[in-house]
Amino acid sequence: MAKVKMKTNRTAAKRFKITGSGKIKYTKGGVSHYNTKKSSKRKRQGRRPQYVPENLEHKVKALLPNDV
């Protein structure tokens, strides 16, 4: 009998990307509208890519078993 592959969590696959070094990159949410009350610094920091902390990486990698 063939081995059954685990399914990738599609919502996580859309939000996270695994970099070449193995870190998990994502884009911060909450910067698409209602921006007038936010400071320039807060909006600028929202454009930068974010990285999942090491203590949570195993949880995200469990949702992405086939390294999407």
CATH number reported for the structural domain that contains residue 55 in this entry = 4.10.410.60
Burial string for 18-31 (b: 16+ CB within 10 Å, else e) reads beeeeebeeeeeee
- Percent of the chain residues past pLDDT 90, beyond the cut: 85
- Please give the residue that has the higher pLDDT: either 67 or 40: 40
First to last CA, the chain: 25
| Tokens (6 digits) for 7 | 């399914």
Number of domains in the chain: 1
pLDDT for position 67: 73
Q: Which of 29, 5, 2 is nearest to 67 (CA)?
A: 5
**Mean of pLDDT values over 25-48:** 94
pLDDT for position 68: 63
**Mean of pLDDT values over 24-47:** 94
- Please give the residue that has the higher pLDDT: either 2 or 40: 40
φ, ψ for residue 50 (rounded to 5)? -110, 160
Q: Residue 42: which domain range?
A: 1-30+38-68
pLDDT for position 40: 96
Q: Which of 18, 2, 20 is nearest to 66 (CA)?
A: 18
